[in-house]
Amino acid sequence: MPTCTPYAAADTPSDQVHASQLDVAAELLTLLRDATTEPRPDIQLEALTLAVAADLPVLLWGEPGIGKTAALTQLAAALDLPLTTVIASVHEPSDFSGLPIVGDDPAEQGVPMAPPDWAVRLVRAGRGLLFLDELSTAPPAVQAALLRLVLERRIGALRLPPDVRIVAAANPRSSAADGWELSPPLANRFVHLQWTHDHDVVVRGLGGTWPRATLPRLDPARLPEAVDFARRAVCGLLTGRPKLVHQLPSSETRRGGPWPSPRSWEMTLSLIAFATAAGSSREVLSLLVRGTVGDGPGLELLASLDRMDLPDPETLLADPAGAALPERGDLRQAVLDGVVAAVRGRPEKSRWDAAWALLVRAVETGAPDLVVVPATTLASLRQEDWDVPASIERLAGAVSVSRRADQAADRVAARAAAVAAKAGR
């Protein structure tokens, strides 16, 4: 009995059937790729866009498949910048330093270095986002050739336009294919951002809605103030900590990340100014600062930034009754210590009395244990002809309770140490 063949299959050439199925597949792929964006807080994305706005090269570190390339693609689309992707590991050093070509008269004109086609396209466009992918798989010779591109924006005799931004991505050496550590000179030219996935962002993105990347809104009225604040912050820290000006790490791995140098401090200054003008959060600023000079110096700088906004001790001594003290315990402690130091620097009876009044106010509005050390130091500054102010009586109870609590804690710790020593015998 003959087998029945469907009408379409019998009368339609096989290549047309296959073509129609590919069209349907293409339509399905289009639907799968269709996604929208929404304004959503994302400190990683905000830090990235802030560094891009500051025209600083950024290096995204993250495990494979974490979404680094997707983030850069979305960033370029959101900022309306043509994206040019260059896989660093598959290029030769001459691809970044320029290819030598012989002209009509080499003895007279020399041998010019011709740039690659992607650089020429960027110059013709006048703007764009240059994405250097797989940077940690580029061998040392290629990394050396990238130095001038990243810092000076030059490829051979060609200079990239000012509106071209550079962002790179890399996997840690442990998860990179034939990975290399970044050379210290190249690493020190980047703002390093650790790229991690956010569960909620991934789930919502797979559902068709991703966070929207937007450039920070800089307040024109705050620009001079932002520059002044950034300069005072960086210069203030480095004045007191001169060893932080240049500190090359000892280990090879840490040299391939952020570390302090005059170049990276200059980048940090720019980022603080941009973050201040944009009103960015402390979390965003922390990512940027630690990603430029490293965790240790970055945390020191963030701590000094907190103290820059502390009230002047002289202002507090002039009006202790109306003093506004910080809520955070560490900042309040720093203010009280500063007041006592000011009295030590210029010991006068009126200033000594005002400092006691300020300590009373601190006890009334915060944790009493914060006044123990300042009160003890202030008491030691008393001169023989100075009468003890009545306000000290209001502090006696708090200081006594705090001391008894400390003594009790010491006794508990001593007992625990004794028990542990006995058990170890």
Gap between the Cα atoms of 195 and 72, Å rounded: 12
Q: Is residue 22 part of a domain?
A: no
Specify whether 346 is located in the same domain as 411: yes
Domain of 378? 313-423
Specify whether 44 is located in the same domain as 160: yes
Specify whether 59 is located in the same domain as 207: yes
Most confident segment among 147-151, 203-207, 280-284, 287-291: 287-291
Asked if 283 and 43 touch (Cβ cutoff 8 Å), the reply is yes
Q: Is residue 8 part of a domain?
A: no
pLDDT in tens, 204-219: 888 888 887 788 899 9
Specify whether 133 is located in the same domain as 256: no
**SS3 helix, strand, coil % of the chain, rounded to 5?**
60, 10, 30
What CATH number is attached to the domain comprising 67? 3.40.50.300
Mean pLDDT check: name the lowest of 364-368, 381-385, 400-404: 400-404
**pLDDT value of position 190:** 96
Specify whether 131 is located in the same domain as 64: yes
Whether 275 shows a pLDDT value over 90: the answer reads yes
The last residue of a domain, from among 211, 229, 260: 211
pLDDT in tens, 3-22: 555 544 455 566 666 678 88
Specify whether 199 is located in the same domain as 259: no
Specify whether 61 is located in the same domain as 146: yes
Specify whether 399 is located in the same domain as 350: yes
**pLDDT value of position 175:** 62
Cα distances from 163 to residues 76, 116, 310, 413, in angstroms, run 13, 19, 39, 62
**pLDDT value of position 401:** 39
pLDDT in tens, 94-121: 888 777 776 666 666 667 777 888 899 9
The last residue of a domain, from among 308, 340, 368: 308
Geometric angle at alpha carbon 345, from 342 and 349, rounded to 5°: 80
Could you tell me the two tokens for 78?
């959101």
pLDDT in tens, 386-422: 887 776 766 765 555 344 434 444 554 566 566 556 6
**pLDDT value of position 214:** 80
Q: Is residue 27 part of a domain?
A: no
Specify whether 159 is located in the same domain as 299: no
**pLDDT value of position 406:** 43
pLDDT in tens, 147-187: 989 988 988 778 999 999 999 998 886 665 566 888 999 99
pLDDT in tens, 42-100: 889 899 999 999 999 999 998 888 888 888 888 888 888 999 999 988 888 888 877 77
The amino acid present at 61, given as its one-letter code, is: W
Q: Is residue 106 part of a domain?
A: no
pLDDT in tens, 303-321: 888 887 788 888 888 888 8
Q: Is residue 40 part of a domain?
A: yes
**pLDDT value of position 77:** 84
Q: Is residue 413 part of a domain?
A: yes
Q: Give the CA dihedral 252, 256, 260, 262, nearest 10 degrees.
A: 110
Determine whether 153 is exposed, middle or buried from the number of CB atoms within 10 Å of its CB (0-12, 13-18, 19+).
Answer: buried
Specify whether 203 is located in the same domain as 117: yes
Specify whether 390 is located in the same domain as 344: yes
> For the chain, how far is it from start to end, CA to CA, in angstroms?
95
Sign of the CA dihedral running 48, 52, 55, 56: positive
**pLDDT value of position 179:** 67
Specify whether 396 is located in the same domain as 317: yes
Asked if 221 and 277 touch (Cβ cutoff 8 Å), the reply is no
Mean pLDDT check: name the lowest of 66-80, 287-301, 331-345: 66-80
Q: Is residue 61 part of a domain?
A: yes
Whether 366 shows a pLDDT value over 90: the answer reads no
The last residue of a domain, from among 190, 211, 232: 211
**pLDDT value of position 369:** 79
Geometric angle at alpha carbon 24, from 21 and 27, rounded to 5°: 155
Smallest Cα–Cα separation from 364: which of 333, 389, 395, 388? 395
Whether 283 shows a pLDDT value over 90: the answer reads yes
Number of domains in the chain: 3
Residue range 347-352: average pLDDT? Answer: 90
For the chain, percent of residues with pLDDT exceeding 90: 31
**pLDDT value of position 289:** 97
Q: Is residue 29 part of a domain?
A: no
**pLDDT value of position 269:** 97
